[in-house]
Structures are given as C-alpha cells and as structure tokens.
Amino acid sequence: MAVTPRVDIAFKKLFGVEENKDLLISLINSIVSKEDQVLEVELLNPYNSKNFENEKTSIVDIKAKSHTGKHYNIEIQISNEGDYDKRALFYWAKLYTEQLDKGVEYRRLNKTIGIHILNFISIPSVEKYHNTFHLVEKESKVHHFKDMELHTIELSKFENNKKGDEKLDEADELKLLMSKVKTSLDRWAAFLSRVDLLSIQKLPKELRDPQVQKAMEVLEVMNFNKEEREAYEAHLKWLRNEFSTLKKAENKGVEKGLAKGLAKGRAEGRAERDMEIVENMLSQGIDLNVIAKSTGLMLKQIKKIKKQIEKY
C-alpha cells in the first residue's frame, strides 16, 4: 500500500529526519517570506519511532531552528477538532517561550513561525489556500509585534479537483491539478494532496524539482515498524472518515442551502434568496465553482455576494 504524506506520522518521517533536512528547508522556503528563508536548520525534535511505542497519539509536529535563530513549528493536521485555532496559538506560544531559559534576557527571543498544513477547510470565507497571519494594529495596520507569524495551508482548497459536479478520470484529474502548479509551494501542495496520482517514473514536468523527486523516492521505500504501522493505519482511517464526513456535510449543505434559499426567495425575492443560498454553502466550505454549478449563478455573481457577506 502506497504511503500518503497527508498522514501526520508519514509527514514527519519524511520531513523530520536529518537525512531529509533539504526537503524541510525546501518546504519552509516555499511558504515563508524572503527575509525568513533558511539555508540550514537544526531539528529540535527529530523523528523517533520510539515515540509510538507507548503513545500512539503523540503530537507529530516538526520543530526546527534556522541558522539565523528563527524558530519554526511545522505540523500537518488530519482533522478539524473544533479547537484548531487555539491549538495553533498554543504551540506557537510554547515554541516561542521555550527559547528563554531562566535568567536569560527577553531580547534573546527570536521570531517564531507556525506553519499548519491542514486536511480540512479552516477559513471558508477566503478562497486562496495559503494564508499568512501577523499581529497588526486594527486601524493603521502597523505591523509592530514582528516575532509572531502563522501560516495556514488548506490542502482541500488546492486539491479541489472537479469542474462543478463533473467526475474526472485520473488522467484528467492530474492534468487539472498540474494546471494549478505555478510556484514552489504549489509543487509541494500538489505532492502532499494527491501523491496517489503521481509516479516517480512519469513525474509531470511541473513537479520535476530535485526535492519533490527525492520526496517521491523516499515515500516509495518508506517502511514502518509495528507501532508506527498501527499508528499510521489509525490516523489514515481517521483521515478517510474525515473526508467522508466532509463530503456528506457538503452534499447536505447544498440540499439544505437550496431548499432554504428557494423557500425564502419565494417570499422575499430572488436577490435575497441567492445570498442565503451562497452564504449557507460558503459556511460549509463549499468551493465557489461547486456553488455556481449547483445554483446556476455566474461565478462573478457569487464572488460579489461573498464580498457583501464579508462586510458584515
């Protein structure tokens, strides 16, 4: 059975070991700004299979420090447990404060960057799959507290591999996926989200990058011991259940949104109906193209309604 890097244990075994630090560096540099690029990293919690002997649900994030002293926390999260935002802040704060030993001056604290790769939609109101968060002043937008930075990478938004309700075969899925690859982060997002469509022997030209090719090779020969295999299988099952639940919720949201919107529309007019439908479907994290296909509205109409909703 092919190993998927979307499962947290496989992700850390791929990126969180000394021999693959070049992969981690490539991934980090594809996400952060030019000023935060890294040439070398020190793994603060390298992957250790013994972590799974007694604790099958160990947190498998990757902690690293760059050559400039900046700290990075990289995690792929399988499921939205409803407290992701608080957890992201907690792990950022933990890594930031762990830099300071007793008696050490605060000025020695370095910028800490949290990178969260998500197998679910966390921010349905935003269409792009990569979002960067800073602390800024509400009115002037002054970025004063510069040590804090969080990134979210929502793979489900990048993967969205359908044209409306049309079901595609694997060749067309791969073609559509590759059409989205424009940047180094897109390459990693394609690899992480749909490695099942890829073959090291016939890697698409869009992914012919030394690090991505190496990642494919490492996955092909990746082995697990008994404890790792049990944890991997459990987390993989959880991931599949999550996708199934999201799909059911999406279908239910479409049906509920359409029914509720049509009933309201008959009483209050077509414009209000359209907004109700779109708002309901957006709250479910449904892609704009799917909404357009389901409602018959033009994409520009949906984007206009989305902007109106975001104002309130």
Which of 32-41, 57-66, 251-260 has maximum average pLDDT? Answer: 32-41
Q: Give the 3-state secondary structure of residue 135.
A: coil
- Of the candidate ranges 11-25, 211-225, 296-310, the one whose mean pLDDT is the lowest: 296-310
Position 245 scores a pLDDT of 54
Q: Which residue has the tokens 């349905």?
A: 124
List CB contacts of 57: < 8 A, sequence separation 6 or more: 231
**Res. 52 pLDDT band, cuts 50 70 90:** low
User: Strands of 130-133's sheet, edge to edge?
Assistant: 41-43, 62-66, 71-77, 112-118, 148-154, 130-133
Distance CA 122, CA 145 (A): 24
Position 79 scores a pLDDT of 72
**Res. 13 pLDDT band, cuts 50 70 90:** very high
Distance CA 250, CA 146 (A): 38
List CB contacts of 307: < 8 A, sequence separation 6 or more: none
Position 102 scores a pLDDT of 64
Position 254 scores a pLDDT of 44
DSSP state, 278? H
Q: Which residue has the tokens 């507290």?
A: 145
> Which residue type sits at 62?
I
Q: What is the rounded average pLDDT of the residues 68-89? A: 86
CA dihedral sign of residues 131, 135, 137, 140: negative
Q: What is the rounded average pLDDT of the residues 201-209? A: 92
**Res. 288 pLDDT band, cuts 50 70 90:** confident
Position 30 scores a pLDDT of 97
Q: Which residue has the tokens 């993989």?
A: 236
By CB atoms closer than 10 A (0-12, 13-18, 19+), residue 310 is exposed
Distance CA 282, CA 9 (A): 31
Is the pLDDT confidence value at 303 over 80?
yes
List CB contacts of 156: < 8 A, sequence separation 6 or more: 118, 119, 120, 121, 193, 246, 285
Distance CA 146, CA 70 (A): 12
**Res. 255 pLDDT band, cuts 50 70 90:** very low
Q: Which residue has the tokens 């799909």?
A: 247
226 or 95: which leads in pLDDT: 95
This prediction's pTM: 0.74
Distance CA 154, CA 283 (A): 16
Distances in whole angstroms, Cα of residue 262 to Cα of each of 89, 259, 278, 281: 40, 5, 12, 14
* Other beta carbons less than 10 A from residue 106's beta carbon: 7
Position 264 scores a pLDDT of 44
Is the pLDDT confidence value at 164 over 70?
no
List CB contacts of 138: < 8 A, sequence separation 6 or more: none
**Res. 122 pLDDT band, cuts 50 70 90:** confident
- Of the candidate ranges 16-20, 102-106, 278-282, 290-294, the one whose mean pLDDT is the lowest: 290-294
CA angle 58, 231, 238 (to 5 degrees): 95
> Which residue type sits at 100?
L
